[in-house]
């Protein structure tokens, strides 16, 4: 039997599942739109993994989760490693592009910049509360312009004129775009202006005057957009590499971390097994009335039994669950 | 008489002094409860919207004290604790902001002006203006101020020897310093040591900062805050600056930060700042420069009214991961 490791990245917009082997070769990968249904998306991803991975050949030896939904996904599948997105992305990128110095990552609702030196994260920044210039914004604009997000890049590359769109805030960007449409600029010009605005905004907000060193790697769902790639190359005046698995890098990273963890500790994986998919996971939330913090406590039940709780500031509910033996 | 003290702003710096002071005058001292969502919501509702969240919290705490049958809420007008330097204007205008801006607080505020040339605010003249309202003599105030000074020095000694202000307060209040000490040392040997730079009211209010101290300890990270450093250590790096920041505490933080960036035992620096803080925007940039020069990793964490804990957790975890990998793999 060959050992395989699963990585799951549950983000706001997409849920990605990958399986890698001992040498971090990608055996399977899938990118699913989360649509607010993180549990279903994880189930869907694991289900197709089960169908496509040869059971007679591979055995699951470790699982890692990452992304904003890493906790719940970790509980569902029985993760060995639950890691933040920054570490996960950096691990995957340095694996594929060992000499990388700067990683641009733009996802559904957040964007990051990660600075690497000698394969090590030396600095990073994430967008603040505002989601301006991320994938969801592009989604929204593509809908408004009536073209699919997949065509965005081609439109941008077909642009003939430079149109300047304000990129500081999506609300202004949108009114600017409407104004430019009314002036009669073509769709490709406007889309190209938008791509440039997004990149300008990204560089201003995240790089904040720091020196950007090549090689540059651009990943995350938005890297599918050739218009943004071109805008990046124009802005920084250097080639930008898009790795082949650009949209599932977080999942690959956490799978690598799970592999390292298992190899280091020699432990048996916590993976609940594929049959766990049949299990009913029901998340619910309630407002705790214990004090005036009125915390929203998230509760996850597996087959009627509470297996995880979080969200309470005092830790009272988390404590109760940890006492229950699963 | 019953005096209320809001558990906010300089509570984390001077409460041991004020408590001992009023108690020496035979007053009962009541503190508002630990910050919770209810207190924050009340503070937000009664404040002007542009003001920073620490002030909103202070207002929330003051309102909460109204339910505790207090005679007065003590809101000092903090003017200066360093010659030639001043407090942020919000501190100077605080008693008026509360008296005239918040419903129900008019007539409930007792105040005095604090001016000093050092952190020691025990000069009795500061407190004479309250004598009449409190019904005490100047002589009584002199005695109370000196008793309070003793207490505060005790608190500060613990604080300066590496305990958080909250721990130091417990240590002098309960006389059971050993217990605090033991609790503090239960966790295994820390793997990293970072500088946690922020105003006392930001770093010590676990609600406001989503319990950053606990999060760091869970990750086995030791930290040092500006109030743990001696005054001379804080001044050392900034005394030669052509121009320092405007406000006293900003300068203390800047001095602490600049010092810690050069401390070989420090693995990284986190700057905890409240959204909209003017002086902090300068300080953050100065720290960025220092980080570039020294190569010591630096991260800013901005807190506000929102309660989403995820982003904070992710940033801290990633920062700690980065430092660990840097330290142990490189």
Predicted confidence (pLDDT) per residue in A75-119, tens digit: 889 999 999 999 999 999 999 999 999 999 998 778 899 999 888
**Is A293–B207 a contact, with Cβ atoms under 8 angstroms apart?**
yes
* Cβ neighbourhood burial of B95 (10 Å; 0-12, 13-18, 19+): buried
B→A contacts (Cβ < 8 Å), by residue, are 36-39, 206-207, 210-211, 288, 292, 297-298, 302, 304, 306, 308, 310-311, 313-315, 317-319, 321-322, 325-326, 329-330
- Say yes or no: ipTM exceeds 0.90: no
Which stretches of chain A drop beneath a pLDDT of 70?
A: 128-133, 167-168, 321-326
* Interface with chain B: mutation pick from A12, A112, A113, A124, highest number of B CBs within 10 Å: A124
- With an 8 Å Cβ cutoff, the interface of chain A facing chain B consists of 68, 83-87, 118, 120-124, 126, 128-129, 208, 210, 291-295, 313
Whole-number pLDDT of residue B102: 92
Give which of A116, A129, A288 to mutate to test B binding, by max B Cβ within 10 Å.
Answer: A129
Q: How far is CA B26 from CA B2, B72, B144, B146, B308, in A?
A: 9, 14, 10, 15, 43
Q: What CATH class has B2-157?
A: alpha beta
CB contact under 8 A, B36 and A121: no
- Give the per-residue pLDDT at A326: 41
The pLDDT value given to residue A325: 43
What integer pLDDT is reported at residue B141 of this predicted model?
97
> SS3 for B294?
helix
Contacts of B207 in chain A (CB under 8 A): 293, 313
Domain extent listing, chain B: 2-157, 187-328
Interface touch A85/B321, C-beta < 8 Å: no
For residue A280, the model assigns a pLDDT of 80
Q: To the nearest whole angstrom, how far is the Cα of A292 from the nearest Cα of chain B?
A: 5
Long-range CB pairs of B275-284 (<8 Å, 24+ gap) are B275/B52, B275/B53, B275/B302, B275/B303, B275/B304, B276/B50, B276/B51, B276/B52, B276/B53, B276/B304, B277/B52, B279/B88, B279/B245, B279/B246, B279/B247, B279/B250, B280/B250, B282/B245, B282/B250, B283/B245, B283/B250, B283/B253, B283/B254, B283/B257
Which of A198, A203, A212 is closest to A100 using CA atoms? A212
Across the interface, whether the CB atoms of B322 and A84 are under 8 A apart is answered: no
Q: What is the mean pLDDT of the segment spanning B162-190?
A: 75
Distance from C-alpha of B45 to C-alpha of B56, rounded to nearest angstrom: 9
Rounded percentage of chain B residues whose pLDDT exceeds 70: 94
Residue A173 pLDDT: 78
A123 and B297: CB-CB below 8 Å? yes
Cβ contact (<8 Å) for A120 and B321?
A: no
Contacts of A87 in chain B (CB under 8 A): 317-318, 321-322
The DSSP line for A152-199 is HHHHHHT--S------S-HHHHHHHHHHHHHTT--HHHHHHHHHHHHH
Contact B37 A293 (CB under 8 A): yes
What does the pLDDT read at residue B223? 96
Of A221, A281, A324, the C-alpha closest to A37 is: A281
Architecture label for domain B187-328: 3-Layer(aba) Sandwich (3.40)
Confidence of residue B250 (pLDDT cuts 50, 70, 90): very high
Q: Which pLDDT score is estimated for A136?
A: 80
Comparing CB atoms, the residue among A68, A84, A294 nearest residue B318 is A84
Mean pLDDT of chain B: 91
Query: How far B23 CA sits from the closest chain A CA (Å)?
Result: 29
pLDDT tens digits, one per residue of B190-205:
889 999 999 999 999 9
Q: Model confidence over B24-39: pLDDT tens digits?
A: 999 999 999 999 989 9
Q: What is the pLDDT of residue B150?
A: 96
Print burial letters for B57-78: b (CB count within 10 Å at least 16), e (below 16): bbbbbbbbbbeeebebbbbbbb
Kindly report, residue by residue over A253-285, the tens digit of the pLDDT. 999 999 999 998 999 999 988 887 777 888 888
* In chain A, beta strands by DSSP E: 2-10, 14-21, 26-33, 58-66, 81-82, 102-106, 111-117, 120-126, 216-219, 240-241, 281-287, 296-302, 305-310
Extents of the domains making up chain A? 2-89+250-278, 98-242, 281-323
| Range with lowest mean pLDDT among A280-284, B63-67, B103-107, B234-238 | A280-284
The fold adopted by the segment(s) A98-242 is: Nucleotidyltransferase; domain 5 (3.30.420)
Asked if B314 and A84 come within 8 Å (Cβ–Cβ), the reply is yes
CB pair distance less than 8 Å for A126 and B39: no
Contact of A141 with A194, CB cutoff 8 Å: yes
Segment holding B115, helix H or strand E = strand B113-115
Does the fold of domain B187-328 match that of domain B2-157?
Answer: yes
CATH pick for A2-89+250-278 out of 2.40.50.140, 3.30.420.40, 3.90.550.10, 3.90.190.20: 3.30.420.40
């Amino acid at each position: 039997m060959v050992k395989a490791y699963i990585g799951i990245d549950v983000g706001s917009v997409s849920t990605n599942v990958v399986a890698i082997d001992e040498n971090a070769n990608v055996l399977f990968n899938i990118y699913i739109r989360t649509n607010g249904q993180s549990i279903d998306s994880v189930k869907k991803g694991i289900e197709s993994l089960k169908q496509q991975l040869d059971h007679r050949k591979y055995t699951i030896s470790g699982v890692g989760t990452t992304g904003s939904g890493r906790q719940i996904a970790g509980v569902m599948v029985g993760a060995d490693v639950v890691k933040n997105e920054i570490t996960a992305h950096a691990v995957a990128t340095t694996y594929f592009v060992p000499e990388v110095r700067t990683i641009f990552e733009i996802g559904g609702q957040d964007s990051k910049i990660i600075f690497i030196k000698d394969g090590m994260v030396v600095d990073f920044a994430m967008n603040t509360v505002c989601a301006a210039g991320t994938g969801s914004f592009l989604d929204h604009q593509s809908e408004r312009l009536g073209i699919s997000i997949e065509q965005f890049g081609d439109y941008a590359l077909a642009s003939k004129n430079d149109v300047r769109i304000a990129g500081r805030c999506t609300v202004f960007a949108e009114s600017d775009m409407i104004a430019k449409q009314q002036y009669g600029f073509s769709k490709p010009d406007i889309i190209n202006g938008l791509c440039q605005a997004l990149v300008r905004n990204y560089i201003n907000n995240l790089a904040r005057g720091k020196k950007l060193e090549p090689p540059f790697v651009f990943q995350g769902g938005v890297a599918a957009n050739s218009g943004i790639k071109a805008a990046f190359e124009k802005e920084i005046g250097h080639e930008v590499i898009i790795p082949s698995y650009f949209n599932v890098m977080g999942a690959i990273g956490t799978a690598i971390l799970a592999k390292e963890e298992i190899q280091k500790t020699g432990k048996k994986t916590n993976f609940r097994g594929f049959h766990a998919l049949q299990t009913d996971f029901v998340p619910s939330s309630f407002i705790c009335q214990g004090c005036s913090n009125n915390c929203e406590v998230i509760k996850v039940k597996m087959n009627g039994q509470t297996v995880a709780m979080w969200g309470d500031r005092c830790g009272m509910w988390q404590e109760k669950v940890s006492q229950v033996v699963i | 008489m019953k005096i209320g003290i809001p558990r906010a702003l300089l509570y984390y710096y001077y409460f041991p002094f004020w408590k001992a002071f009023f108690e020496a005058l035979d007053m009962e001292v009541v503190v508002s409860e630990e910050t919770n969502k209810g207190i924050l919501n009340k503070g937000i509702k009664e404040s002007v919207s542009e003001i920073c969240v620490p002030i909103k919290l202070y207002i929330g705490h003051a309102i909460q004290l109204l339910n505790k049958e207090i005679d007065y809420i003590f809101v000092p007008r903090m003017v200066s604790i360093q010659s030639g330097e001043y407090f942020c204007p919000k501190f100077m205008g605080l008693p008026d902001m509360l008296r005239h801006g918040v419903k129900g607080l008019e007539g409930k505020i007792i105040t005095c002006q604090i001016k000093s040339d050092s952190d020691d605010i025990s000069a009795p003249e500061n407190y004479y203006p309250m004598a009449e309202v409190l019904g005490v003599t100047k002589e009584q105030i002199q005695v109370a101020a000196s008793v309070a000074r003793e207490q505060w020095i005790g608190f500060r000694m613990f604080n300066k020897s590496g305990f958080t202000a909250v721990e130091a307060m417990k240590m002098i209040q309960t006389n059971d310093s050993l217990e605090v000490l033991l609790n503090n040392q239960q966790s295994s040997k820390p793997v990293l040591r970072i500088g946690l730079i922020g105003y006392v009211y930001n770093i010590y209010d676990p609600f406001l900062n989503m319990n950053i101290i606990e999060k760091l300890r869970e990750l086995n990270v030791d930290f040092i805050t500006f109030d743990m450093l001696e005054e001379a250590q804080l001044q050392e790096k900034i005394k030669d600056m052509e121009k320092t920041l405007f406000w006293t505490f900003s300068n203390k933080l800047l001095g602490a930060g600049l010092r810690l960036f050069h401390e070989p035992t420090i693995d990284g620096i986190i700057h905890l700042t409240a959204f909209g803080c003017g002086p902090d925007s300068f300080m953050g940039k100065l720290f960025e420069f220092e980080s570039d020069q020294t190569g010591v990793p630096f991260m800013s964490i901005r807190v506000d009214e929102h309660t989403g804990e995820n982003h904070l957790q992710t940033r801290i975890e990633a920062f700690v991961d980065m430092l660990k990998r840097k330290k142990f793999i490189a």
